[in-house]
């Protein structure tokens, strides 16, 4: 068994610590060839090298000392870190709506362990109340941790359980559901939940944070407060994503689960509705709807839960010079469906036509979406498009590639019939395909243009 007192230390660093009979949490004075250092020995990160010993100085700083340079270590005592997160009882008020918060991973609120840097998530109602007391203004809160995974590790198993859990909560009579989720694949989960949980009577709000909750500038608490507000007081009974509108602390936007996409790797305002406008703005004062074509909150407990899911579906991001063997390999491996993200209006190159034809002939369902994200697949405009359709590729209108992927998984989980698959895919459930793209559905401003600069000067974005 690995000696816990040398946690994370390997090889030379481990040898040095053993030689001087010290370990993690020893309060030590280290004599090294390049100076003397006094501090507390910390556990070593598993991914860090084996050549250094890390200590925390009295000032709170950490430093690393090369194990090879250490000539002596004197132990003055031991101070083990004990983690505890303060809990305060979450107040209940019979007049307030009951909200269930599901945790899937990521941290909404957390306490950081200063000695190791480990993030300890706050998740129980008591812990959350301790760090975000504003939550109690809007609701009575129940929390349930379903998983502790990074969002990139969410998959069919998690989607299905989440959908079933939502169904149970609705049946129990809660007034709204909030789902804490990592941001990377939040829009994938939002899309699949929209298909799996149809016609819910209450808001189902997904929320996360772009800046971790252990920092004072985090968007986590503000997003959570607003998401809870939407779940408790809002009138929109759909699967929603609630994230920062601008990078400034002003309001969050409510995005429909099928039209939202993470559009920046790190900005607070990364989530955007694509090819349409968001449903509402929400700030600490209230919810301001931006359109009225949404499903209203209802008192009944009706909901359709359909957790069908076919895992053998893939997405191909087309690039010039793509070779047919890629498509053949996918078919050979037994995939049942392919979503292509094509160029422009939905195109791929001639050399792979034959491979696509072989795929559709074998009964593989192939749908076309656009890499441009904004705009419709329009395969009649150019001859290329018409040729591709003749291969059996079905244009998926203005469905976002990731949404089309999730929908094809869900559809193929229900049927393999060519016409039925096509019918389900092209019948919108919640605006994954829209009839029209509004004139203000595509706004990517370019900096340095005088009028844009004027806008940025006057509007806090």
Is residue 292 annotated as part of the catalytic site, yes or no?
Answer: no
Q: Which of 267, 374, 382, 442 binds other proteins (CB under 8 A)?
A: 267
Please report the sign of the dihedral spanned by the C-alpha atoms of residue 260, residue 262, residue 267, residue 268.
positive
Q: Is 122 exposed, middle or buried (0-12, 13-18, 19+ CB in 10 A)?
A: buried
Is residue 416 annotated as part of the catalytic site, yes or no?
Answer: no
**CB–CB of 279/290 below 8 Å?**
yes
* Smallest distance, other proteins to C-beta of residue 343, A: 29
Closer residue to other proteins, CB minimum distance, 85 or 149:
85
Given 100, 104, 116, 183, the catalytic residue: 183
| Measured distance CA(225)–CA(275) in Å, rounded | 28
* Residue 450 makes contact with other proteins by CB under 8 A: no
| Measured distance CA(428)–CA(220) in Å, rounded | 32
* Residue 59 makes contact with other proteins by CB under 8 A: yes
∠275-195-404 over CA atoms, to 5°? 50
Closer residue to other proteins, CB minimum distance, 34 or 440:
34
The two tokens of residue 434 are 């829209």
Give the largest CA-CA distance in the chain: 81
| CA-based nearest residue to 236, from 190, 286, 292 | 292
The two tokens of residue 270 are 């990364």
* Residue 349 makes contact with other proteins by CB under 8 A: no
- Applying the rule CB under 8 A, the residues between 234 and 263 that interact with other proteins are 246-250
Stretch that binds other proteins, among 41-49, 72-80, 231-239, 362-370 (CB under 8 A): 41-49
Closer residue to other proteins, CB minimum distance, 1 or 444:
444
Per-residue mark of binding to other proteins, 108-147 (x: CB under 8 A): --xxxxxxxx-x--x-------xx----------------
CA distances from 72 to 26, 67, 69, 203, 262 (A): 14, 10, 9, 62, 52
Closer residue to other proteins, CB minimum distance, 14 or 407:
14
| Measured distance CA(438)–CA(179) in Å, rounded | 30
Residue 99 in 3-state DSSP?
Answer: strand
The two tokens of residue 72 are 């002596």
* Smallest distance, other proteins to C-beta of residue 130, A: 6
Is residue 183 annotated as part of the catalytic site, yes or no?
Answer: yes
Tell me, rounded to whole angstroms, the distance of Cα 283 from its chain centroid: 21
Q: Which residue has the tokens 């019979």?
A: 94
Q: Which of 84, 333, 350, 436 binds other proteins (CB under 8 A)?
A: 84
Given 107, 307, 360, 434, the catalytic residue: 107
* Smallest distance, other proteins to C-beta of residue 52, A: 5
| CA-based nearest residue to 183, from 151, 215, 217, 212 | 151
Q: Which of 27, 169, 214, 252 binds other proteins (CB under 8 A)?
A: 214
Query: For other proteins, how many residues bind (rule: CB under 8 A)?
Result: 65
Closer residue to other proteins, CB minimum distance, 170 or 224:
224
Is residue 262 annotated as part of the catalytic site, yes or no?
Answer: yes
* Smallest distance, other proteins to C-beta of residue 193, A: 28
* Residue 194 makes contact with other proteins by CB under 8 A: no
Residue 395 in 3-state DSSP?
Answer: strand
* Residue 449 makes contact with other proteins by CB under 8 A: no
Phi/psi of residue 281, nearest 5 degrees: -110, 145
Residue 89 C-beta-side C-alpha neighbours within 13 Å: 3
Closer residue to other proteins, CB minimum distance, 76 or 323:
76
**CB–CB of 260/400 below 8 Å?**
no
* Residue 446 makes contact with other proteins by CB under 8 A: no
Given 184, 235, 283, 328, the catalytic residue: 184
Instruction: Show which residues are catalytic.
Output: 107, 183-184, 262
Give residues in contact with other proteins (CB under 8 A).
32, 34-37, 47-49, 51-52, 54, 57-66, 69, 84-87, 110-117, 119, 122, 130-131, 210-218, 221-222, 246-250, 264, 266-268, 447-448, 453, 456-457, 460-461
């Amino acid at each position: 068994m690995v000696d816990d007192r040398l946690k994370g230390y390997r090889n030379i660093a481990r040898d040095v610590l053993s030689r001087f009979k010290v370990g993690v949490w020893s309060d030590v004075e280290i004599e090294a060839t390049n100076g003397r250092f006094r501090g507390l020995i910390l556990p070593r990160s598993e991914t860090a090298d084996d050549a250094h010993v890390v200590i925390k100085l009295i000032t709170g700083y950490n430093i690393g000392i090369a194990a090879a340079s250490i000539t002596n270590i004197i132990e003055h005592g031991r101070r083990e870190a004990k983690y505890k997160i303060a809990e305060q009882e979450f107040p209940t008020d019979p007049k307030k709506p009951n909200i269930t918060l599901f945790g899937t991973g990521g941290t909404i609120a957390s306490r950081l362990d200063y000695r190791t840097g480990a993030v300890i998530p706050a998740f129980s109602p008591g812990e959350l109340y301790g760090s975000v007391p504003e939550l109690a203004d809007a609701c009575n809160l129940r929390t349930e941790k379903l998983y502790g995974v990074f969002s990139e590790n969410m998959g069919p198993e998690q989607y299905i359980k989440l959908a079933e859990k939502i169904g149970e909560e609705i049946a129990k009579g809660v007034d709204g559901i909030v789902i804490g989720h990592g941001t990377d694949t939040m829009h994938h989960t939002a899309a699949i939940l929209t298909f799996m949980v149809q016609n819910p009577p209450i808001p189902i709000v997904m929320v996360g944070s772009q800046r971790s909750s252990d920092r004072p500038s985090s968007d986590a608490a503000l997003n959570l407060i607003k998401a809870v507000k939407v779940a408790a007081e809002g009138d929109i009974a759909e699967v929603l994503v609630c994230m920062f509108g601008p990078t400034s602390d002003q309001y969050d936007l409510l995005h429909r689960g099928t039209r939202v996409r993470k559009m920046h790797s790190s900005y607070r305002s990364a989530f955007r509705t694509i090819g349409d406008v968001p449903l509402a703005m929400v700030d600490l004062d209230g919810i301001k709807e931006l359109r009225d074509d949404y499903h209203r909150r209802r008192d009944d407990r009706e909901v359709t839960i359909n957790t069908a899911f076919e895992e053998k579906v893939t997405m191909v991001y087309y690039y010039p010079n793509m070779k047919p063997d890629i498509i053949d390999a996918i078919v050979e491996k037994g995939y049942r469906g392919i979503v292509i993200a094509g160029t422009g209006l939905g195109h791929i190159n001639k050399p792979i036509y034959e491979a696509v034809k072989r795929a559709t002939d074998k009964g593989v369902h192939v749908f076309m979406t656009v890499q441009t994200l904004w705009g419709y697949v329009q395969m009649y405009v150019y001859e290329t498009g018409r040729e591709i359709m003749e291969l059996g590729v079905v244009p998926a209108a203005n469905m976002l590639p990731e949404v089309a992927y999730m929908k094809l998984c869900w559809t193929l989980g229900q049927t393999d019939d060519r016409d039925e698959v096509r019918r389900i895919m092209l019948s919108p459930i919640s605006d994954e395909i829209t009839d029209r793209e509004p004139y203000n559905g595509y706004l990517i401003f370019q900096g340095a243009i005088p009028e844009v600069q004027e806008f940025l000067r006057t509007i806090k974005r």
